Structures are given as C-alpha cells and as structure tokens.
Amino acid sequence: MKYINCPVCEKGELENAADIILEISGYVFVVKGERCNKCGEEFPSEEETTRVINASKKLGVWPEPLKL
C-alpha cells in the first residue's frame, strides 16, 4: 500500500530513502524504502525486507519462533 502521508504522524510525506539501517544480532543491513520528512519514521520496502530476512536466516541470526 502506498501512502502519500505518513501513517504514523499523519503530518509528513513519505520520501524515498536508500539508507535505512536494519540491525539484527549485531549485523547491519542498509536497505531502500521510504522515510517520513516530519517524524523520521522509516518504512523498508517489502523486497528489501525479504532480502534481509533471507540473508539473516543464512547467517543463522534470524530468530526462531518459540516452541512451547
């Protein structure tokens, strides 16, 4: 879903960003997405998030679901 206004603060507009930082278990990933120009909230793209999850699983740092 594409937002014109930020869904968090509802005041800013989302702008393209190519430097969103995601950190998982000490590994740092730089991804593309959108960032609000008012509150700074970041929204990584779905494709980039999938890429990070796959890389994290290969590195063995993606959290496994809890087994009860």
pLDDT band of residue 2 (cuts 50, 70, 90) is low
- Are 30 and 20 in contact by the 8 Å Cβ rule? The answer is yes
Question: What pLDDT, on a 0 to 100 scale, did the predictor assign at position 38?
Answer: 95
Residue type, 17: A
Residue 8 has pLDDT above 80, yes or no: yes
* CA separation for the pair 20, 26 (Å, rounded): 16
DSSP 3: -
The pTM of the full predicted model, rounded to 2 decimals, is: 0.78
Residue 66 has pLDDT above 60, yes or no: no
Q: Would you state the structure tokens that stand for residue 18, as one six-digit string? A: 């190519």
- 15-53, pLDDT tens digit by residue? 999 999 999 888 999 999 999 999 999 999 999 999 999
* CA separation for the pair 68, 66 (Å, rounded): 6
Q: What residues does each domain of the chain span?
A: 14-59
